[in-house]
Structure 1
């Protein structure tokens, strides 16, 4: 039976307090996937000399930490969940700034990454993150804490597709420009997503459950 995003999909699948077993299970799966791919991409990014892979690896690390925070605050009150979301949003902003700084360094040094390595890692990560994003899609209209998890997974999948585009561009042009352009875009996505989370978390920090439902 079809249902609206703001009513039965939210209450029957995730619950207002985020304590449903499916929510916890989804967080654990997302945490394991992100932690594993952080280790994979950080090594591959350094070996390939790819700014976009390094950006994606750092994003995996940040997301793994964010999912761990989400698991800690599951079942806590809205105010605690909004504070956790605020921390996650601030972390995303900090990581995005690092990505932009690292991208600038790659432009300065004129690095030409290994397109083949970028492509293989990008495809593998996209398959994993695509599955995680689909799994978390049903929670995208929850509170700031739930929404931050969905935004993280969405940005991961978009980042993986961008890495593949960068790999194709590097292979076709034999220059590092496609790689640094994609890394800069990923940094921009991180800034945008982090600000979205911080803004909603600040609003929810001063709301009770009744006010939150009315705001939706």
Structure 2
């Protein structure tokens, strides 16, 4: 036992191999949160329904000459791609860590959400451009077929939205897919309104006008999803955690803790916050007890189940580092 480092050994080359091995928690630990299988299932069936009706709506929109229907079919195309990405994210996200990916494939969910947001923004821009040309040069629209297809699309989108709402809405993938499907649902409503007005009055500009209004509403949700997914990719602090409050809470409630420094909190994926910090001990404090209390407080009060704690020995020679104890 080294006198400079009470309560621990110096982990150096002079130690036997058995002494240099880092101590492990007695419990099993995994970086990956449990991904519910029903998320993967509902996303898969939502994809099947969306992709199937998207083809029917595209054909119907071309036949009827309706930009609202074509735009809604475009929404459904991006929805199908978004749902496929979401399904792949859940599927691959359940793989365990390997030698090259210590956190496994969990970050794929966030990447999928980021791509979904970008694709939706690109689609909104395309609809706005097409609508502008439709206003400059109006085209004939067949209100009857448009009305029937829009009504069927509305029913399909309601069913898909309901299916997704049964999943875990805290995940960016589910959230992104729901935004896409909500856009489809509103698109079907807009197409119904446009078809009804064209049927009654013959005023075709309502078709591109409603398409633009719908896209403007969706833009806000798309930008929100883009910000949220980009924040995770940039390893920003989760929105429900304030670092100053976290530091004050730990110092106030963990016995033997004099202070903490170098606090970093980020998310691997939705609902999986991770923390690292340096703990400064009071004189005579037990490093192991302080570490255990820190991780317990982080887990129970702040929802951080994966924490790495290093002991700051305040400049003593041979700076000793407490082994990582990964909480579960």
TM-score w.r.t. structure 1 length?
0.85
Alignment of 1:33-72 (within 5 A): 33-72=49-88
Aligned length in residues? 200
| Structure 1 partner of 2:224 | 196
3-state SS, counterpart of residue 185 of structure 1: helix
Call closer, same or farther: CA 1:18–1:61 in 2, change over 3 Å. Answer: farther
Q: Relative to total residues, which structure has the larger helix share, 1 or 2?
A: 1
8 Å CA contact 1:55–1:187 kept in 2: the answer is no
For residue 36 of structure 2, the aligned residue among 13, 20, 29 is 20
Residues 73-113 of structure 1 deviation map (CA, whole Å, 9 limit, x = unaligned): 11525433212211111011111111111111211211131
Q: Relative to total residues, which structure has the larger strand share, 1 or 2?
A: 2
**CA–CA distance in structure 2, aligned partners of residues 22 and 149 of structure 1:** 15
**CA–CA distance in structure 2, aligned partners of residues 56 and 140 of structure 1:** 26
| Structure 2 partner of 1:3 | none
For residue 141 of structure 1, the aligned residue among 150, 153, 169 is 169
For residue 214 of structure 2, the aligned residue among 177, 183, 186 is 186
Residues 130-169 of structure 1 deviation map (CA, whole Å, 9 limit, x = unaligned): 1111111134631222210111122221211111111111
TM-score w.r.t. structure 2 length?
0.57
**CA–CA distance in structure 2, aligned partners of residues 142 and 178 of structure 1:** 37
Alignment of 1:44-193 (within 5 A): 44-74=60-90, 76=93, 77-139=105-167, 141-193=169-221
**Gap runs ≥5 in structure 2:** 1-31, 94-104, 236-265, 276-301, 305-328
8 Å CA contact 1:78–1:204 kept in 2: the answer is no
8 Å CA contact 1:122–1:163 kept in 2: the answer is yes
Aligned alpha-carbon RMSD (Å): 2.2
Call closer, same or farther: CA 1:18–1:119 in 2, change over 3 Å. Answer: farther
8 Å CA contact 1:133–1:150 kept in 2: the answer is yes
